[in-house]
Structure 1
Amino acid sequence: MGSMSGMVAVSVVGLYRTGKSYLMNRLAGQQSGFALGSTIESKTKGIWMWCVPHANKKGHTLVLLDTEGLGDVAKGDEKHDTWIFCLAVLFSSTLVYNSLGVIDNMALEKLHYVTELTENICVKAEVGQDEDGSADFMRVFPSFVWAVCNFTLQLIKEDKPITSDEYLGSALELKQGYSRQIDRFNLPRRCLCKFFAVRKCFVFPRPASTQNMRRMEELTEKELDSEFLEQANTFCHYVYNNAEPKIVNGGRTITGTALGNLAEVYIEAISNGKVPCLENTVVSLANVRAVEQALQFYMTEMLSIAQLPMRPEELSDIHKIAEKKAIEVFITMTFNDNDQIYQKELMVQYLLTNKIMDRQENSDRQI
């Protein structure tokens, strides 16, 4: 993963055996890559990551995240599925939800993970009493794409043709009134609208005959249904043109190194039974990077003049100048380091670096 390029991260989530991996391979421009599988068993375990150069955004990397299928009864661990879904939301700039058949109440009830996001993710370290936090979630959550596979209906409502986006919009309409049943009906719809500012829908007919679908990786484009192929290409172009680089709280764009750090921080929080907090993570990532960059600047300055003959007092003066410049670099990059925890960490790193450089210099003199 390039450390400086923008990362456009796309996750595909959904129930197991719904063709998620095939969509990922199409986005990567490959026939195969993510394992597809042709049996009732879920093939993907955990979250698989694949990085490819972005199709039309120069200097950007397309990070494809293929997730373990949700709802596999053999796993028997509902919380595991919830965390898979939450991590996909946290990592991606575009979240693709894959399902089969139609968008009806049953399909929306299966998307109950979206109703649990506020319990498992926090955006701010502290939320005011009058805030429900939905605006904060919407600001940092990915765009949402619902991909309906094996769709056999006609897109018609009240005898008029409708678009797939209008189909999704219609499915997300709330029921009026007050009852436990109505609240249950409205909850996933309300959450999708509250948390995901951008919502898009694609419907795909069956790609091939049942027999041929068992060997999807081997099929040539000529063997695929032409309407399916057209929709798949439209879907890919939408993602290429509209999926934005991943940003985190504070509007910071994530680079490759930071995405790796992000994964470590979130998974460590989950492993320790804590709720991942975006604000704390951003502060941590920004300041760790500030320390790294300042230290790198300092070492570059010192190493550039280390070969020159000079008196110890001259070296001391150069060290002070380099340190002052490095602290200026740190201050421009730091983020909410109010207790100077990371600045103290930088000073510790300076001392360690100086000891290493002194040892090297003494060793060179002995030689």
Structure 2
Amino acid sequence: MFYHADAAIEQLSIHRVGNKMQDEFYVITDGPVALQDDTLSELLKHYFLSPFAKVNEVYHFSHPSGTLELNEMYHFADAFFTGGLGFHEFSQQVCKHLYAASNHPNIKGGELYAVHLRGVQMEGELHEAVGIFKSETKETYLKVYPSQGAFNVGYEQEAININKLDKGCIILNTARGEGYQILVIDQTNRQQEALYWKDDFLGLTIRNDAFNQTGNFLKIYKKFVNEALDDVFELERTDKIDLLNRSMNYFKEKEAFKQEEFEEEVLGNPKAVHLFNDYKQQFGEAQDASFGQYFDISNQAVKKAQATYKSVLKLDKNFHIYIHGKREYIEKGYDEEKGMNYYKVYFKEER
């Protein structure tokens, strides 16, 4: 969990990055910004850091070759943290690298902020950090102010909403040998061109801890049930909901995942087990994620995944049936006279 209330901004540098595919250029400033207004510092801290309060995924720098030093952002961050590069020089190198990574015509130009931070808290420990943020979206704001016993109204164009950070990452000065710990967000564009921020610019791989192993496992299991089982088994929607409910109950009740236990208690079918293991391996290779036969279960990841695990049968526009368990108490049939499907539900008492 990321906590920033006690964090302080030590240094701030601002540049501008255009899109070279649109023949735009970058603008590098000569020195950092002098922050002498406490209110402005608090507003900037809110703008830069508050979006990360709900971020759980932790990444690290990586490179396809396996050599971390070939990742440009790792090289720049490491040089700054170890004293080999001054902060403003670090920000200038980051600006040039981001410009080089802006290789899609739909990428928007914008201001690039580099921030040196002290006192950010991650998983209960205080750390030094650097933040890299980009503002792409501008808005128009109305301003109402008193004037000679009345009120006047004005406006300001091309202003920035401090509650809407477009892109950002926080690089924590910890786990250096593993590629540092990094939090990242991209809230402006989730299409293909948005991948440049995490992949082309930062070069990140998700950290394989309990949160990510739990979340990735539940994600791939859901895809497996909804998409892959139909190729081998004839399953009704109620059967799929039952399989999803059983997996969610397993992760809620257990403290750790054990592969053989999960296969027996949830899947319960050797053919389905073999099919799922093949499906899981393909997912791991494609997403650079690995699943051990044993890992601790993250309650935070379970709660996050639960919101996407649907246990509702939607019948036309008339009825919704919520299924929480006891698959054997619901039956599907077809009424020849009405020419319609039906469900029969058994229960002991009405509440």
TM-score range (shorter-chain normalised) is under 0.3
- Tell me which of the two structures has the higher relative contact order, counting C-alpha pairs closer than 8 angstroms and 6 or more residues apart: 1
Higher helix share: 1
Between structures 1 and 2, the one with greater strand share:
2
Taking structure 2 as the reference length, the TM-score comes to 0.28
- TM-score, normalized by length of structure 1? 0.27
